[in-house]
Amino acid sequence: MRTALLQSSGRPGSVVENLKVLDEAAGRAAAAGAGLVAAPEMFLTGYAIGDDIARLAEPADGDSADAIAEIATRHGVAVAYGYPEREGETVHNSAQLISADGTRLANYRKTHLFGCFERDHFTPGVQPVVQAELNGLRVGLMICYDVEFPENVRAHALAGTDLLVVPTAQMHPFQFVAESVVPVRAFENQMYVAYVNRVGPEGEFEFVGLSTLAGPDGIARTRAGRGEELVLADADPDFLAASREANPYLKDRRPGLYGSLV
């Protein structure tokens, strides 16, 4: 499945403008043959927007979800995006996957919050593995800091995730995660990992870009730079099957030895 990564911080604080950016990117992605376009962490509203996070938070089936379903349907491409999710008085840092026919397929709440900023504004999720079937692949969702915990990604591997989509707000000086950690996660867990980042200055943060789609051989199929761009690469199920057959990591595990990890 051709996957498009929208590396952009959009227009922080403006849901209307961010929907326009996503609409334009979905059109370009669909024209390039993509089956999925993924946007970064908190793309719907902006990340470093302080108390506006709570003000702009919406339920998973809110007005913006309906607007993105319309975008997906009109362009014929699935969309994954980050947003602040309201559930009663609680706000989660969430990511949602909507199919090309407008169906909400999966909604994930970030389980590992990074730093005081996130802990001040969000409640962590409790479900580590969220998946959906899309175009012949089992697609999993995760958000930024989550992918830096090997247990998290291994749980997806054991649950059969083929393509792990990771909306991200990765900041300076942690660019080594995009450059090194993500390809290693893809290799050691035998999956594709689509890591799609924000870019440029925003509030107190400097987002580093470097969005990538890494394959199960640990090689980046595409790599964005430090500016706003749309990059595309393929998640090939045939290559994935051959790689899993050749690579023994999951077969050679000895779970009985790992009790001390939990």
| From 85, 110, 118, 202, active-site residue | 110
144 is catalytic: yes
State the Cα–Cα distance between residues 206 and 197, nearest whole angstrom: 11
Query: From the candidates 58, 85, 118, 144, which is the catalytic residue?
Result: 144
Residue 206 known to be catalytic: no
| CA angle in degrees (0–180, nearest 5) for 226-180-116 | 70
- 20 is annotated as an active-site residue: no
Residue 169: closest CA among 198, 209, 203? 198
* Residue owning tokens 């959906």: 132
157-to-130, 151, 213 alpha-carbon distances in Å: 12, 10, 16
Tell me whether strands 199-202 and 104-109 are parallel, antiparallel or unpaired: unpaired
| Token digits of residue 45 | 């509203």
Number of Cβ atoms within 10 Å of the Cβ of 111: 20
Pairwise CA distance, residues 178 & 174, whole Å: 8
Known catalytic residues are: 41, 110, 144
